[in-house]
Structure 1
Amino acid sequence: MNQRKIGILLSYVNIIFQAILGFIYVPILLYYIGKNEYGLYQLIGSLIAYFSIMDFGLTAAVIRFYTKYKALKDRNGMENILAISMYGYLAVTAVCLVIGWLCYVNLDNIFGESMTPQELSEASQMFLLLLFNIAVTLSTMIFRAVINSHERFLFLKGLETIQLILQPVLVILILQKYPTAMAVAVAQTILNVVIISARIYYCFARLHITVKFHYWNHELFSDFRRLAVSVFAVSLIDQVFWKTNQVILGIVQGTAAVAVYSIASLIYMNYMALSTAISGVYLPHITELVAKKRPVQELSILFIQIGRWQYYLLALVATGFIIFGRQFILFWAGEGFTDAYVITLLIILPFTIDLIQNIGLSILQAMNCYGFRAKIYCLTGLLNLILAIPLGIKYGGVGCAFATGVAMLIGNGIIMNWFYSHSIKLDIRKFWWQIGKISAVVLVCLLIGYGIYYGLPFSGKIGFIIKIIIYTIIYGGVIYKLAMNDREKIKIKASIYNFKKNL
């Protein structure tokens, strides 16, 4: 099994771990620290998340250009791009700390109306700790980019698996004695520093990288900067989509509303991870295809193939949540979180368009054509912000989610599909024809699912789980029989054969 397949497999293992641990972890956090403390933790986490994008797109640019030089076997180019990037990472870390300090001294002004003095004090301490966490992460992101470029996904994703398992264990141990949101932040910071140290050691001890400045190339720097700025702009708007709504709710509604929205956020972020698990490991491969000037038809075929696989999985989760989601949230989070069902649906349904096409983002990065995506994303992010504030004031989390869904449908759905078709020359018409045929089968599965939910005489949590398992099995059988093409069926059969052979 090659590293790319290992990366995809481990990504899904991590998603499963994250989902299972998260769904167990959140009720435990709510039990130990309560709804308001949990909302406080999510609110400060949402605010500090803005600083996580302050690599200004450097990581994507490093992967793109470092992989290009590696494909061309240019050792000096590889060393040089790392040296230039290292200076960039140190600069943006300094900027992050300065902006972070300005935010820290104004926390009272931002949240003074919606928080108690005790909450404000704890929020300030937590903000400083998480700011330190982000600074350490930003200054060392180059090492994660290098491991990604070398496609050493076993180590990269394996570390993430270890972090996923150890973090809740460490948090719960600390909460036994210190049941506060601050304790959760301390545990995360300690583990993050350990993981980062392991990446640094691996780069120098196993990959034998060298960071050395050889020459200044103005054209290279111009291309590097253009891609970095474009990726940064998209990352910034990502925070508008995924974090700003929680900040808005924290200001206009309070920490309880943030807690409800955070429950929905955990679900749709896991939903997003199901798609990025595949596309996330393909950037180095696509960059090599572009560097070697392979025809765009190859990229179009890859775009459709991966989109189909992503849709099979996402449609299972989306239809399953439509059928079982309301009762799931009631079992999982308890009373008082029912709005999270509507919030989640308002986001994941339009978001599915972008997720089944996110291999296109890797294609844009590899071609250094990410600028258009950045411009459109900025406009749709602005639309989201304009709509979310008044809707959030009047309708709370549901209003914010509606604003996000509309903005994503327009920007990520309609406009980006036009760009893929007319500028990149991907076969979007064929893509949607195939997705449309699959959707007809998915609709049949949805109707069957409602029959399972209302028709089977199982009750309670065990009965609920049995219904989900039955629906998943039937969905898989119907999709395999009616939606998959011959090539996909052969891959499924080969995977089953290899699995049995390795038992």
Structure 2
Amino acid sequence: MIGKNNYYLSSLFWSTTARILNAILGFITVPLLLGYYGKAEYGLLSIATACNGYMHLLDLGMNTGAVKFYTQWKTEGKTDKVFKVARTNITFYVIIAVVNICMLLCVAFWGENLFSVTHIQFLQIRSCLLIIALFCVFSWVTTVFNQLLIADKQLAFTMQIQCVQVVLKALAVILVIVANMTLTTYFFYITLFVALACIPYAVKCRKDNLIDGFCPSWYWADFKVVLNFSLSIFALSLFQVTATQSRPILLSIFASNGASAVADFRIIEVVPQLIIMIGGTFSSIFLPKTSEMVAKKDELAMHEFAYRWTTYTTIVVATMCFPFMLNASDVLSAYVGSEYAYLSKWLIIWCLTVLVQMHTTPGNALVLAYGKTKLLVKVTAVSCLFSMLLNVLLCKYLEVGSTVIAYFVYTLIIIGLYYVSFYKKLLGLNRLKLLRCFLVPVIIAFLIFIIVYFIPITKNCFGEINERLAYVLVCIAKTLIWLLPYVGILLIFNIIDLRKIKK
């Protein structure tokens, strides 16, 4: 079984399983809820979650900082420091939760003029914000235990819990249809299921002696070391999260029809979000390993890691991106109906953005392990502000397309910084070799993409069957025709070396 003996494979297996289940749930629930509640009403959920998503900045970068130092201290045998900081972290996140609740209440009761919605629609948003506030403490404290598990290389366990959450969310969707559940009640249940992860996480941490108790404490001397590092990550996260989470919020404010534009955004977001989540999983997998390498000052291991995993990460992301780029129109037609096929060009550009963005994940993990982020913060700040301005300027003309174009520009600026500065000056890597690790699998994928794109496979090839099923079959057929030669070429030319992966 893939699991106990290979950290990378077990983590990737369970992470991918959780993300695929989540993606399947999203693909099923979005059209169901869209049809059941209506486009405008469904868009209200997205506005509420976007508001709270931005408030995750309150984390102050601790999610990355804690994992780095927990891993470092475990490597150095300083378990007592891990215990002290973990319990201090509980106090920290309870404080953060209280602040989060206050901010949600302010938006819920005095933020109606922020959004381009009717008064009735804002009341619905208010209900959702109050539900999020209700579970805030549990959601934030879960982060403490999640950090400990990831630092202990138990990412697979956290992903298994997420698989259970997906099943519970699916039950909530069934109840919507069977029991005629209101939008607010549905939102209550899915928020509850997310918060409940706190229980198994806490039990697992205590059982494996990752924490010596759940009583909040305050060991400032040890906690300050983590906080100081985390604040530099926070400055980076501030602009990264702003660039990401501001997109639907700006749409809701500046688009001519805020709820409708945000609904379009959420429709095409499902595919890129899946790929981004898997990319985020790579970050969680890589950071404990890169922190160990940096602590041991093992430059040879770091260089081998950077080259090998840039190739593998690119292949994994390309394998997900290219099929959706190839079948963008058919995917949307099968997913939410052919009337949304006009969004296909934006889905293609967004997938391309994700492909370019995610290939730097191994390099990013090494940069974070070193903690050299000042230049990255400055460039991220400039690119974030520029992308937001571009989003606002294009919003009136391109609607949802403005968010895609603006984020593509943001991504290109950040990637440029890695190649111009970090790879050579900080990490001592060969930039051309690293670029080749990215370009070789992408060029192969693109050449096959061009060939398959012109193969005349349409829904009419499958006769008189259900229209959406026909679109699904088109997607499957084109994907297989693209995927099989792609994997074959990678294996033939040893770009994928199965012996090294098994080792």
Residue 87 to residue 390, structure 1, CA distance change in 2 (3 Å): same
Secondary structure in 2 matching 1:280: helix
Deviations 1:181-239 (A, max 9, x none): 3122201122123221111122123335225979654xx65652343123223333333
Rounded to whole Å, the distance in 2 between the matches of 1:470 and 1:382 is: 42
Deviations 1:142-190 (A, max 9, x none): 1110111111233211101111122121233145434433122201122
CA RMSD of aligned residues (A): 2.6
Q: Larger deviation: 179-188 or 250-259?
A: 179-188
Report how many residues are paired: 489
Among 65, 74, 86, the residue aligned to 1:82: 86
CA contact (8 A) 1:320 1:449 kept: no
Rounded to whole Å, the distance in 1 between the matches of 2:501 and 2:10 is: 18
Q: Larger deviation: 364-373 or 68-77?
A: 364-373
Q: CA deviation at 1:385?
A: 0.9
Rounded to whole Å, the distance in 2 between the matches of 1:57 and 1:285 is: 19
Residue 88 to residue 375, structure 1, CA distance change in 2 (3 Å): farther
Q: CA deviation at 1:69?
A: 0.8
Q: What does residue 490 of structure 1 align with?
A: 498
Among 81, 100, 120, the residue aligned to 1:118: 120
Residue 183 (structure 2) pairs with residue 181 (structure 1)? yes
Q: Which amino acid counterpart does residue 86 of structure 1 have in structure 2? A: I
Q: What does residue 150 of structure 1 align with?
A: 152
Identity %: 19
CA contact (8 A) 2:333 2:341 kept: yes
Residue 337 to residue 487, structure 1, CA distance change in 2 (3 Å): closer
1:86-485 map, 5 Å: 86-111=90-115, 114-174=116-176, 176-207=178-209, 209-210=211-212, 217=221, 223-252=225-254, 253-295=257-299, 297-410=300-413, 412-421=414-423, 422-454=425-457, 458-459=461-462, 460-484=467-491, 485=493
CA contact (8 A) 1:33 1:179 kept: no
Q: Which amino acid counterpart does residue 358 of structure 1 have in structure 2? A: T
Deviations 1:80-134 (A, max 9, x none): 22233333223322322232232223222212xx322221111111111113334
Residue 215 to residue 192, structure 1, CA distance change in 2 (3 Å): closer
Q: Larger deviation: 273-282 or 4-13?
A: 273-282
Rounded to whole Å, the distance in 2 between the matches of 1:19 and 1:11 is: 12
Q: What does residue 29 of structure 1 align with?
A: 33
CA contact (8 A) 1:388 1:399 kept: yes
CA contact (8 A) 2:275 2:320 kept: yes
Residue 263 to residue 455, structure 1, CA distance change in 2 (3 Å): closer
CA contact (8 A) 2:66 2:147 kept: yes
Rounded to whole Å, the distance in 1 between the matches of 2:48 and 2:210 is: 38
Rounded to whole Å, the distance in 1 between the matches of 2:447 and 2:293 is: 38
Residue 349 to residue 469, structure 1, CA distance change in 2 (3 Å): same
Rounded to whole Å, the distance in 2 between the matches of 1:408 and 1:56 is: 22
Secondary structure in 2 matching 1:486: coil
Q: CA deviation at 1:77?
A: 1.7
CA contact (8 A) 2:142 2:198 kept: yes
Residue 274 to residue 153, structure 1, CA distance change in 2 (3 Å): closer
Rounded to whole Å, the distance in 2 between the matches of 1:327 and 1:474 is: 16
Rounded to whole Å, the distance in 1 between the matches of 2:274 and 2:397 is: 28
CA contact (8 A) 1:133 1:192 kept: no
Q: Larger deviation: 436-445 or 186-195?
A: 436-445
Q: Which amino acid counterpart does residue 15 of structure 2 have in structure 1? A: S
CA contact (8 A) 1:136 1:193 kept: yes
Secondary structure in 1 matching 2:108: helix
Rounded to whole Å, the distance in 2 between the matches of 1:18 and 1:289 is: 32
CA contact (8 A) 1:61 1:228 kept: yes
Rounded to whole Å, the distance in 2 between the matches of 1:310 and 1:232 is: 25
Q: Which amino acid counterpart does residue 241 of structure 2 have in structure 1? A: Q
| TM score, norm. by length of structure 2 | 0.89
Q: Which amino acid counterpart does residue 192 of structure 1 have in structure 2? A: V
**Unpaired runs of at least 5, structure 2:** none
Rounded to whole Å, the distance in 1 between the matches of 2:343 and 2:9 is: 34
